[in-house]
């Protein structure tokens, strides 16, 4: 083997099958790995050499961003991320018109390097399942720095500010999906985690009747289930009107009614998701300080000085949803039997995570120690291989 490479004895993670390898190296380079078979006397019976190239994984998939600073509004057009590399990676135009492209959207409370780690774990684990298509990540400006349950509750405005950014990032995601759909027509596959499903769902709504995504996989979605199905369970019935279930007047259809940006919608849910239980706590804090709902006016208001300013649908929808209107339902990622677009030809497109991976061993732990909400990225590959198999298989993207 060439001296320009040092290979670790282990692969990235624990590979559960032996026909798709990614080697772990400590530096860029290439060289030959020679296999020699000899008898007991040292006589060479056979010998062959395979040549291996080691490069930064950031030079193996595309990274797109509409911003990283949570105090700044997201851009409407995604740029190539160049942090951590000298030049941003870009695929050459596909030669095969059936080349698939999977785009990943991260969730809340993530620094830039963590966004990349989740994307890279997704890329590697899909590859180990046999995925040979292309992969990209879409980054948006989420807040971060929340370290435990107490800080998550005390600093719930961090969450709501991020939700506001998530809604606003949808335009940038849709623009990128439109670009990708031109290059990979009907072969764009979108998956989003947690609050990333706000970005993804809204982008697909903004697409109108223009299908820009073949299949959308919502993973542990931190968005109101009533956005998709007003008939799902309600946690309570008093308080401000539920404009997720009825947008934006009473008896109107749900917010995502008629959404057509994807051909197939799949919901990976867990009714016992620790983090999504905290999501309901955040909803119960709404309207946030500085906002209110006026029953007499039937309007949401933003307090300004000693007065207030009326907020209107659809102009102020994102602000109302992020800060003022509490969801009466559970989160999409914690709700079974969501109907609407998650029903296709009478068949439910839902996957119960409790049947996919091991039981949650961290139920009594603090938020900072609780990995189950993002276990597909944070725990070992053998424990989560079945998850990625389903994502890639007939109950997910149907790419395997």
pLDDT of residue 52: 81
Q: Average model confidence (pLDDT) for the chain?
A: 91
pLDDT per position as a tens digit, 333-382:
999 999 999 998 788 999 999 999 998 887 777 777 778 999 999 999 99
Average pLDDT for 54-79: 95
pLDDT of residue 161: 97
Which fold would CATH assign to domain 57-286+325-392? Rossmann fold (3.40.50)
> Which residue has better confidence, 54 or 222?
222
Domain residue ranges of the chain, discontinuous segments joined by +: 7-54, 57-286+325-392
Q: CA 330, 334, 337: angle at the middle one, nearest 5?
A: 90
6 by DSSP, 3-state: which? coil
Average pLDDT for 317-333: 98
Do 89 and 60 meet the contact criterion of CB atoms below 8 Å apart?
Answer: yes
pLDDT of residue 21: 61
pLDDT per position as a tens digit, 109-128:
999 999 999 999 999 999 99
pLDDT of residue 8: 38
Query: Cβ neighbours of residue 381 under 8 Å, at least 6 residues apart?
Result: 13, 14, 15, 16, 125, 128
Which one, of 88, 177, 98, 173, lies nearest residue 133 by Cα? 98
- Quick one: pLDDT band at residue 18, thresholds 50, 70, 90? very low
Token pair of 316 as six digits:
């102020």
Backbone angles phi, psi at 124, to 5 degrees: -65, -45
Q: Answer yes or no: is pLDDT of 3 > 70.
A: no
Token pair of 367 as six digits:
């938020």
Query: Cβ neighbours of residue 127 under 8 Å, at least 6 residues apart?
Result: 20, 22
> Which residue has better confidence, 370 or 294?
294
DSSP line for 75-120: PSSPEEP-TTSSS---PPPPSSTT--EEEEE--SS--HHHHHHHHH
């Amino acid at each position: 083997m060439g001296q320009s490479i040092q290979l670790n004895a282990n692969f990235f993670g624990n590979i559960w099958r032996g026909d798709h390898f990614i080697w772990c190296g400590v530096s860029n380079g290439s060289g030959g790995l020679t296999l020699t078979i000899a008898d007991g006397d040292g006589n060479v019976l056979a010998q062959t050499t395979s040549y291996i190239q080691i490069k930064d994984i950031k030079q193996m998939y595309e990274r797109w961003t509409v911003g990283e600073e949570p105090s700044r509004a997201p851009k409407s057009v995604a740029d190539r991320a160049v942090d951590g590399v000298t030049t941003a990676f870009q695929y050459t135009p596909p030669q095969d018109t059936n080349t698939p492209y999977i785009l990943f959207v991260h969730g809340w409370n993530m620094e830039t390097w963590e966004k990349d780690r989740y994307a890279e774990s997704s890329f590697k684990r899909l590859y180990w399942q046999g995925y040979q298509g292309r992969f990209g990540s879409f980054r948006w400006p989420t807040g971060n720095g929340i370290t435990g349950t107490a800080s998550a509750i005390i600093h719930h405005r961090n969450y709501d500010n991020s939700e506001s950014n998530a809604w606003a990032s949808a335009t940038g995601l849709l623009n990128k999906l439109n670009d990708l759909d031109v290059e990979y027509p009907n072969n764009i596959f979108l998956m989003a985690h947690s609050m990333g499903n706000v970005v993804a769902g809204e982008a697909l709504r903004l697409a109108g009747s223009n299908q820009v995504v073949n299949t959308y996989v919502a993973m542990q979605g931190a968005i109101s289930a009533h956005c998709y199905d007003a008939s799902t369970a309600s946690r309570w019935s008093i308080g401000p009107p539920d404009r997720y279930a009825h947008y934006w007047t009473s008896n109107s259809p749900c917010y995502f009614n008629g959404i057509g940006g994807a051909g197939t919608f799949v919901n990976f849910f867990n009714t016992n998701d620790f983090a999504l239980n905290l999501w309901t706590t955040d909803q119960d804090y709404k309207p946030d300080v500085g906002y209110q709902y006026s029953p007499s006016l039937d309007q949401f208001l933003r307090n300004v000085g000693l007065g207030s300013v009326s907020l209107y649908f659809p102009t102020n929808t994102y602000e109302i949803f992020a800060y003022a209107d509490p969801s009466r339902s559970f989160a999409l990622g914690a709700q079974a039997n969501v109907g609407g677009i998650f029903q296709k030809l009478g068949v439910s497109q839902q996957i119960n995570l409790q049947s996919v991976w091991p039981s949650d061993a961290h139920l009594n732990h603090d938020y900072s120690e609780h990995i189950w909400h993002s276990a597909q990225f944070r725990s070992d590959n053998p424990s989560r291989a079945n998850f990625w198999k389903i994502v890639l298989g007939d109950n997910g993207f149907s790419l395997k």
